[in-house]
Amino acid sequence: MGKQTLDISPVGRVEGDLDVRVEIADGYVVNAWTHAELFRGFEIILRGKDPQAGLIVTPRICGICGGSHLTSASWALDTAWGTEVPRNAILARNLGQIVETIQSIPRYFYGLFAIDLTNKNYRSSRFYDEAVRRFSAFTGKSYELGVTISAKPVEIYALLGGQWPHSSYMVPGGVMCAPTLTDITRAWAILEYFRTNWLEPVWLGCSLERYEEIQTYDDFMNWLDEDIKHRESDLGFYWRMGLDIGLDKYGAGVGRYVTWGYLAHEDRYQKPTIEGRNAAMIMKSGVYDSFTDTHTLMDQSFARENLTHSWYDEGTTDIHPSDRTTKPIANNTKDFDNAYSWASAVLHKDFGRLEAGPLARQLVAGGNHGESWQHHDGFILDVFKKMGGANIHVRQLARLHEIVKLYRQAEHCLREFKLNDPWYIKPTEKDGKGWGATEAARGALCHWVDIEGGKIKNYQVIAPGTWNIGPRDGQDKRGPIEEALVGTPIEDPTDPVEVGHVARSFDSCLVCTVHAHDAKTGEELARFRTA
């Protein structure tokens, strides 16, 4: 059988519209190209502006993880200005970031991922009817509850920053807010509401404490068997259905993973520096190389970008991102042998292409590198090894597993606030270079800022999507999503839902849109779909 080329436009968007080209032979993807189709030029806009302009502009790079951009922008200025950040402020920044991610988990899972399980492809699965009942867009029982309750955690963000999305309450030297008893009590109540109305009864089918006993793949399987409530929870149901429809069979990717680490420790990062950052994060940074099963620390100086296959006129050698000049080329025709995307290829100087995201974070969390006091969790690494590497399903599990840990971290922040201690220490503005990083829900994010003469000389951002969506690099090696697409089975080329599964399993900033439904789900929606 000959090769068939499929251009899917659009697949999804955010950080640029995402289009995918795949070549299919004998029902499997044999080659793939991902291309981002939007250029707004934030780096260009920021040049020459106020040093603090990034606090206002960069959250608007992405309204889905704007709080993470704000975090990176503030820490970048903190390192450039040599500020002191009071512990209350560190906790308040962490809390904002945590609730943004907690929000993202049900919103992403139900709103963007699980609706695919109602695709006609899976009609023969014994889980299908139940999936339709739970996950149908807008009307599914879990969909409606999950999407609605996803608005709750960010109410806590609003208590700190006035609104979510797009507050700029984090500033060099601390935060703008000074929450009172009212705010803190409400925040506790909102967390509790989220736990008792969705997280425990619907999502886990058990208490957080019971879930936290799971340390290995076997523990997880035992947990599934232990109680019908576990099996029938959305997590338990999803896990069983995913195996049934083969989500554990494809979507591997590049096999190397990166995280910058995140959540600065409130007592260890009050005098932030670029060099001191790794040892001060609660969730450690690192690179996991699955081919050699080794963990190493990640450092900003290891990052490189290559623009050979991107629509920029900045040469074809690997350069450090902070040396970029962001020169878009006027003619952005799609040329799959040359340039075909606004995303760049991001690399590690030694390890090459790396996957960023929740799976990366959890694989790194299983390493014994880093500081002894830093968070360690070997569960996902164990699942990864038992399953023989990455696939869509383990990538999902990593994402979903995080919610309980983050919930605990949110409690920690609320407990540790000392309401009458300072929230801000006014810094002195000065020239210099700064770097700030964090983990957005969907992966490693960092900002470099260079201030000269009291204004921004250069501002560069590497978003999670850039690691994952990037096109081929200088050696023509495929990017993580491109690589993960290879080997994907395509049942129906007119409705390649599997491509969507792979792309979305990265939970990259692709607010993806690969969907279809058969007569059955169609009927469910028919009430609303006829004019």
Partner 1 sequence: MTNVLWLQGGACSGNTMSFLNAEEPTVCDLISDFGINVLWHPSLGLELGNNLQTLLWDCILGKVPLDILVFEGSVVNAPNGTGEWNRFADRPMKDWLIDLAQAASFIVAVGDCATWGGIPAMSPNPSESQGLQFLKRQEGGFLGKDFRAKSGLPVINIPGCPAHPDWITQILVAIATGRIGDIALDELNRPQTFFNTFTQTGCTRNVHFAYKATTAEFGQRKGCLFYDLGCRGPMTHSSCNRILWNRVSSKTRAGMPCLGCTEPEFPFFDLKPGTVFKTQTVMGVPKELPPGVNKKDYALLTMVAKDAAPPWAEEDFFTV
63-82: contacts with partner 1 (CB under 8 A)? 63-64, 66
According to DSSP, the residues that pair with 106 across neighbouring strands are none
Residues 206-265 that bind partner 1 (CB under 8 A): none
CA angle 178, 179, 182 (to 5 degrees): 155
Least Å from the CB of residue 257 to partner 1: 25
330 is an interface residue for partner 1 by CB under 8 A:
yes
Locate 432 and state its tokens: 């210099």
Answer yes or no: is 85 a known binding residue. no
CB nearer to partner 1: pick between 1 and 531: 531
Which is closer to partner 1, CB of 50 or CB of 227? 50
Was 200 annotated as part of a binding site?
A: no
32 DSSP β-pair partners = 22
Q: Is residue 413 part of an annotated ligand binding site?
A: no
- Between 155 and 473, name the residue whose CB sits nearer to partner 1: 155
Give strand ranges (E) for 238-312.
256-259, 262-264, 281-283, 286-289, 294-296, 303-306
137 touching partner 1, by CB under 8 A: yes
Q: Write the Ramachandran bin of 233: left for phi over 0, alpha for psi from -120 to 50, otherwise beta.
A: beta
Alpha helix segments (H runs only) across 198-274: 208-212, 217-226, 228-232, 234-244
Q: HSE on the CB side for 245, CA within 13 Å?
A: 28
Question: Among residues 206 and 445, whose Cβ is nearest to partner 1?
Answer: 445
User: Is 364 known as a binding-site position?
Assistant: no
Residue from the set 53, 199, 263, 345 that interacts with partner 1 by CB under 8 A: 53
For residue 171, state whether it binds partner 1 (rule: CB under 8 A): yes
Out of 4, 30, 37, 208, which residue is the one contacting partner 1 (CB under 8 A)?
Answer: 37
Tell me the residue type at 151.
A
Cis previous bond, 321, omega within 30:
no
Question: What sign does the dihedral 203-209-210-212 (CA atoms) show?
Answer: positive
Nearest by Cα to 59 from 24, 114, 109, 97: 97
Find the part of the chain contacting partner 1 (CB under 8 A) among 6-14, 243-251, 374-382, 435-443.
Answer: 6-14
User: Which of 41, 201, 315, 388 is in the footprint of partner 1 by CB under 8 A?
Assistant: 41
Q: What angle do CA 454, 57, 72 make, to 5 degrees?
A: 80
Smallest distance from partner 1 to CB 158, Å: 4
Interaction pattern, residues 471-490, with partner 1; x per rule: CB under 8 A? --------------------
Distance CA(440)–CA(252), nearest Å, equals 22
Find out whether 97 and 67 touch, Cβ atoms under 8 Å. yes
Is 185 one of the binding residues for partner 1 (CB under 8 A)?
no
Asked if 153 and 413 count as a contact pair (C-beta separation under 8 A), the reply is no
Q: Which of 29, 80, 105, 112 binds partner 1 (CB under 8 A)?
A: 112
Q: Binding-site residue total for partner 1 (CB under 8 A)?
A: 99
Q: Which of residues 499-528 bind partner 1 (CB under 8 A)?
A: 500, 511, 513-517, 528
Of residues 96 and 321, the one with the C-beta less far from partner 1: 96
Q: Does 313 bind partner 1 (CB under 8 A)?
A: no
- For partner 1, the closer of residues 248 and 482 by Cβ is 482
Per CB under 8 A, which region of 107-115, 317-325, 397-405, 466-474 contacts partner 1?
Answer: 107-115
Instruction: Between 137 and 281, name the residue whose CB sits nearer to partner 1.
Output: 137
Kindly list the distances between the CA atom of residue 342 and the CA atoms of 15, 330, 455, 503, 530, in Å, as whole numbers in the listed order. Answer: 9, 12, 26, 17, 38
The distance of closest approach from Cβ of residue 489 to partner 1 in the complex, given in angstroms and rounded to an integer, is 17
- Nearest residue to 416 (alpha-carbon basis) of 266, 216, 223: 266
Shortest Cβ distance from residue 418 to partner 1 (Å)? Answer: 10
Would the annotation count 515 as a binding residue? yes
62 annotated ligand binder: yes
Stretch that binds partner 1, among 40-48, 204-212, 357-365, 439-447 (CB under 8 A): 40-48
To partner 1, the closest distance from the beta carbon of 95 in angstroms equals 13
By the rule CB under 8 A, 173 interacts with partner 1: yes
What is the Rg, in whole angstroms, of the alpha carbon atoms belonging to the chain?
A: 22
Exposure on the CB side of residue 521, measured as CA atoms within 13 A: 26
Euclidean distance between CA atoms 148 and 310, whole angstroms: 38
Is 230 marked as binding a ligand? no
Q: Which of 23, 30, 31, 39 binds partner 1 (CB under 8 A)?
A: 39
Both tokens of 318, joined, read 């690997």
Host H or E run for residue 82? none
CB of 136 to partner 1, least distance (A): 10
Contact string 150-169 vs partner 1 (x = CB under 8 A): xx--xx-xxxxxxxxxxxxx
> Which candidate, 302, 313, 361, places its Cα nearest to that of 338?
313
Amino acid letter at 300? Q
Q: Is 531 exposed, middle or buried (0-12, 13-18, 19+ CB in 10 A)?
A: exposed
Q: Does 434 bind partner 1 (CB under 8 A)?
A: no
Check binding of 40 to partner 1 (CB under 8 A). yes
Shortest approach of partner 1 to residue 440 CB, angstroms?
A: 13
Q: What is the DSSP letter of 197?
A: I
Amino acid found at 365:
A
Of 417, 410, 437, 421, the residue nearest 157 (C-alpha): 410
Annotated binding site for Ni(2+): 65, 509
Annotated binding site for Mg(2+): 43, 62, 461, 515
Annotated binding site: 43, 62, 65, 461, 509, 512, 515
Annotated binding site for Fe cation: 65, 512
